[in-house]
C-alpha cells in the first residue's frame, strides 16, 4: 500500500474538529457554486470522507475513496477515460508523488472531464502556522503548494483552469466560538483572495480539435481568393466583337 495513505488516515480525525469542519463546509459551498461545470454521470472524490461534491442527482454515480471503494490516489481503481469528474480534496499536500496523483486523475478522466482541487494555501496565516513547533501534527505536516505551481502542473497536463476560489480567511484557531466571531473575515477576505487559507480550483481537460490547424488555414486562405473564371475577361470581349 502507498506510503501516502497513512497521513491521509491520520488527517481524518482533524476533519472532525470545529476547524476542520469549517474548512470542509466552506469548500463544499465553493464547489456547489460551480455545479454547472461538474457535468457527467461518473464522479469520484479522493482525500476526505465528507462529500464535497454536489449531492448526486438521478443517474449520477458518486464514489468516495476509502468509503465506497478501496484504493488510493496514486493508483485510482478505474479504467482509463471512464470518469467525468475527479475531486482531489487535500490529497496533493500529503502525497509521496503529487505529480503521479495528477497523472492518475488525468488518466481516468474522459475528454472534457473536470478536475477539482482543494488545497491549503502557503501564502496565508495557515501557511505561516506550518513554521510553528507543532507543524508535525495534521494538517500542518503536509506540503502546501501555491496556486501558481498548481496551475503550471495543470497546464503541463493540458488542463484549462476554469475558476479559482479562495476560502477560509479566518486564522486557523481551534475554538468554535472564535471561528464564529471571526466569520465576518470571510466577506472582507474576498478583497484579498490570494491570502485565503485554502483554495478550490476547477480545471477542464483540454480536447484536441478534430480539424487540423493547417487545414483550417488553407481553407481560410482559399475563401479569400476571387472566384475562378473559365476564360480571361478580355478574350471574352474580343470574341463578342468578332461575332
User: Could you read off the pLDDT tens digit of each residue along the chain, which spans 243 residues?
Assistant: 444 445 556 788 899 999 999 999 999 999 999 999 999 999 999 999 999 999 888 889 999 988 888 888 999 999 999 999 999 999 999 999 999 999 999 999 999 999 999 999 999 999 888 877 666 788 988 999 999 999 999 999 999 999 999 999 999 998 999 999 999 998 888 777 788 999 999 999 987 765 555 545 544 544 545 555 445 544 444 444 444
Classify 161 as helix, strand or coil.
strand
Q: Which pLDDT score, from 0 to 100, does residue 89 have?
A: 96
Task: Give the C-alpha separation, 92 to 223, whole Å.
Answer: 50
Task: Give the C-alpha separation, 192 to 212, whole Å.
Answer: 42
The 3 state secondary structure assigned to 141-195 is: CCCCCCHHHHHHHHHHCCEEEEEEEEECCCCCCCCHHHHHHHHHHHHHHCCCHHH
Got the DSSP string for 69-80? B--BTTB-SS-T
Task: Give the C-alpha separation, 15 to 21, whole Å.
Answer: 6
> 75-129, pLDDT tens digit by residue?
999 999 999 999 999 999 999 999 999 999 999 999 999 999 999 999 999 988 8
- What are the phi and psi torsion angles at 201 (to 5°)? -110, 130
The predicted model scores a pTM of: 0.81
Task: Give the C-alpha separation, 92 to 70, whole Å.
Answer: 18
Q: Is residue 134 exposed (0-12), middle (13-18) or buried (19+ Cβ within 10 Å)?
A: exposed
Give the domains, in start order, of the chain with CATH numbers. 5-211 (3.40.50.150)
Is-cis flag, bond preceding 205, omega within 30?
no
Confirm if 20 and 14 have CB atoms less than 8 A apart.
yes
Amino acid at each position: 500500500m502507498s506510503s501516502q495513505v497513512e497521513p491521509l488516515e491520520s488527517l481524518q480525525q482533524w476533519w472532525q474538529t470545529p476547524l476542520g469542519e469549517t474548512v470542509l463546509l466552506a469548500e463544499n459551498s465553493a464547489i456547489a457554486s460551480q455545479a454547472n461545470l461538474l457535468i457527467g454521470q461518473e464522479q469520484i472524490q479522493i482525500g476526505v470522507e465528507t462529500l464535497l461534491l454536489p449531492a448526486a442527482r438521478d443517474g449520477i454515480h458518486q464514489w468516495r475513496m476509502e468509503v465506497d471503494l478501496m484504493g488510493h490516489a496514486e493508483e485510482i481503481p478505474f479504467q482509463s477515460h471512464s470518469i467525468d469528474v475527479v475531486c482531489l480534496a487535500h490529497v496533493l499536500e500529503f502525497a509521496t508523488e503529487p505529480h503521479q496523483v495528477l497523472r492518475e486523475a488525468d488518466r481516468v478522466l474522459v475528454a472534457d472531464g473536470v478536475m477539482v482541487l482543494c488545497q491549503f494555501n502557503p501564502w496565508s496565516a495557515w501557511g505561516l502556522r506550518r513554521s510553528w513547533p507543532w507543524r508535525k501534527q495534521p494538517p500542518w505536516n503536509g506540503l502546501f503548494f501555491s496556486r501558481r505551481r498548481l496551475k503550471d502542473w495543470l497546464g503541463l497536463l493540458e488542463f484549462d483552469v476554469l475558476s479559482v476560489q479562495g476560502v477560509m480567511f479566518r486564522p486557523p484557531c481551534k475554538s468554535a466560538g472564535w471561528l464564529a466571531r471571526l466569520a465576518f473575515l470571510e466577506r472582507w477576505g474576498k478583497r484579498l483572495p490570494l491570502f485565503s487559507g485554502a483554495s478550490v480550483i476547477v480545471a477542464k481537460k483540454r480536447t484536441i480539435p478534430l480539424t487540423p490547424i493547417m487545414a483550417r488555414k488553407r481553407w481560410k486562405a482559399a475563401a479569400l481568393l476571387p472566384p475562378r473564371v473559365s476564360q480571361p475577361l478580355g478574350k471574352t470581349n474580343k470574341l463578342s466583337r468578332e461575332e
